[in-house]
Each structure stands twice: as structure tokens, then as C-alpha cells.
Amino acid sequence: IQVKLFRKDTGDILYTSEVIPIGEQQINVQLEAVPDSGEYPLTAVFYLLNTGSGDCIGEIEAGIILTVD
């Protein structure tokens, strides 16, 4: 799996993960760009990757809210 976080208002990518192996997780991550204080609607896209080739075989999107203090 690979994860990207996109701002809904601008489409900017705030985070792109490394490939996360099956059974592992990432808990603390650093954003590529940190917006000003406030709440931001984001789209989290989870790319499902073929473990052999690394090709994307599907994706799932979820809406989330990022709160910046």
C-alpha cells in the first residue's frame, strides 16, 4: 500500500508515504507542507500495489479532516 494526502480545496499533496508492506503501519508522519492553523478537508488515497510488480491494482479514497494548531 502507498498513501497520499491531498487538500480538497487546492489539490496540493501534503503527504506521500513510502510503500508500506502488508501487515505494517505508519503512525507518525511528517507532512511535505504544513498549512496555517485551521481545519482542512483532505482526501486520503490508498493505492493497492501488486507485491510482485509494484503496479497499482486499485485505490480507495477516504475524506478526512486535518486540524493544525
Query: Per-residue pLDDT averaged across 36-65, rounded?
Result: 96
Q: In what order do the strands lie in the sheet with 56-68?
A: 13-16, 2-7, 38-49, 56-68
Mean pLDDT of 15-38: 92
Residue 22's pLDDT is what? 87
Q: Are 68 and 57 in contact (CB under 8 A)?
A: no
Residue 5 has pLDDT above 90, yes or no: yes
Given a cut of 90, whether residue 27 has pLDDT beyond it is no
